[in-house]
């Protein structure tokens, strides 16, 4: 097919040879299948903010850092330049997360290049070499549901140990890839996590705990349709409590059970913490808005 304008630059730069077809159009991007030499890859074109149904909610962008102080001040003020810089930071967040998670051994598409707002990465495929289906398009046996759920809980832990929370994890952004077997061994289907522009820093974002609990809850509810025993598990709070205590690792054996504290809550202390956080944020915004001497 004829290369869309946003991909034509990559063709001219020699990063891709031909555009095969459009794969999908989602809430924040369009994805195309492309050929790069002998390899088939996919190119993700990020939509401009005015054309996206998904907004850069402050919950996701909290504590995202930019290296340029001028850009940071402009983003804090919300100027036109600041909005442009925020858009660039939003797009590069997925690229940064992919490289970070791939290095940590998390099952994500392998990134190859990010150029002019287009992410070039691995095309995740099924047993026939076609684009892999999303989990929501697949039915599972109870045994398969238990297996894939356990795998994905392990991936959530691996991500958290790498300092990342997906923030929007569900059956709609996990692909079921086919991994060929070696020699005479049969291949296996394994989940691959995609769509990471909203990934948050686990230690630096105050909403990280809520997002992780929601991510894990989404996995429980989806796979619980096929294996109802999963609906009684409580992996989210267990994982986060171990993380907060500094006891979580990729080898941590999880039980899926969590005992909630019945101790009374000191509301006065909680309100003081909220007031302190509000004052710190106000001071930070003031610093960002004040030009350097």
pLDDT in tens, 218-263: 999 999 999 999 999 999 999 999 999 999 999 999 999 998 766 5
Q: How far apart (Å, rounded) are the C-alpha atoms in residues 152 and 111?
A: 20
Is the per-residue pLDDT at 88 higher than 70?
Answer: no
Is the per-residue pLDDT at 61 higher than 60?
Answer: no
pLDDT per residue as tens digits for the range 116-129 = 889 999 999 999 99
Q: State how far Cα 46 lies from the chain centre.
A: 15
Q: 214 phi and psi, to 5 degrees?
A: -70, -45
Burial class (CB in 10 A: 0-12, 13-18, 19+), 245: exposed
- Kindly report the pTM of this predicted structure: 0.78
pLDDT recorded at residue 158: 98
Q: How far apart (Å, rounded) are the C-alpha atoms in residues 281 and 260?
A: 31
Residue with tokens 């997360």: 97
pLDDT recorded at residue 202: 94
Residue with tokens 């794969």: 23
pLDDT recorded at residue 70: 47
Q: How far apart (Å, rounded) are the C-alpha atoms in residues 44 and 23?
A: 10
Burial class (CB in 10 A: 0-12, 13-18, 19+), 71: middle
**Looking at residues 181-197, what average pLDDT do you find?**
90
* Residue 178: partners with Cβ closer than 8 Å, 6 or more residues away: 125, 126, 127, 132, 187, 188, 189, 190
- Give the catalytic positions in this structure: 168, 195
pLDDT recorded at residue 186: 84
Q: How far apart (Å, rounded) are the C-alpha atoms in residues 238 and 72?
A: 36
Q: Which helix (H) or strand (E) holds 41?
A: strand 39-46
pLDDT recorded at residue 147: 98
How many other C-beta atoms lie within 10 A of the C-beta of residue 67?
Answer: 6
DSSP state of 273: H
pLDDT-derived band at 1 (thresholds 50, 70, 90) equals confident
Q: How far apart (Å, rounded) are the C-alpha atoms in residues 118 and 10?
A: 9
């Amino acid at each position: 097919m004829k290369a869309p304008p946003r991909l034509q630059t990559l063709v001219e730069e020699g990063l891709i040879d031909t555009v095969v077809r459009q794969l999908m159009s989602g809430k924040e991007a369009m994805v195309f299948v492309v050929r790069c030499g002998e390899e088939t890859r996919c190119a993700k074109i990020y939509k401009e903010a005015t054309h996206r149904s998904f907004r850069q909610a402050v919950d996701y962008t909290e504590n995202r850092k930019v290296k340029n102080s001028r850009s940071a001040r402009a983003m804090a003020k919300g100027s036109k330049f600041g909005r442009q810089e925020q858009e660039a930071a939003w797009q590069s967040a997925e690229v940064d997360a992919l490289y970070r998670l791939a290095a940590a051994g998390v099952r994500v598409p392998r990134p190859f290049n990010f150029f002019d707002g287009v992410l070039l990465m691995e095309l995740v495929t099924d047993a026939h070499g076609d684009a892999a289906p999303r989990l929501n398009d697949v039915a599972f046996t109870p045994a398969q549901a238990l297996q894939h759920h356990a795998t994905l809980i392990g991936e959530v832990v691996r991500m958290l140990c790498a300092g990342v929370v997906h923030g929007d994890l569900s059956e709609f952004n996990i692909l079921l890839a086919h991994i060929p077997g070696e020699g005479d061994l049969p291949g296996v289907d394994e989940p691959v996590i995609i769509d990471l522009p909203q990934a948050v820093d686990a230690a630096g974002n105050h909403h990280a705990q809520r997002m992780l609990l929601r991510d894990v809850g989404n996995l429980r509810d989806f796979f619980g349709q096929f294996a109802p025993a999963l609906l009684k598990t409580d992996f989210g709070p267990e994982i986060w409590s171990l993380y907060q205590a500094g006891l979580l690792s990729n080898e941590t054996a999880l039980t899926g059970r969590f005992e909630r504290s019945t101790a009374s809550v000191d509301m006065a202390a909680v309100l003081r913490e909220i007031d302190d956080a509000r004052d710190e944020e106000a001071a930070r915004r003031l610093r960002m808005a004040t030009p350097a001497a």
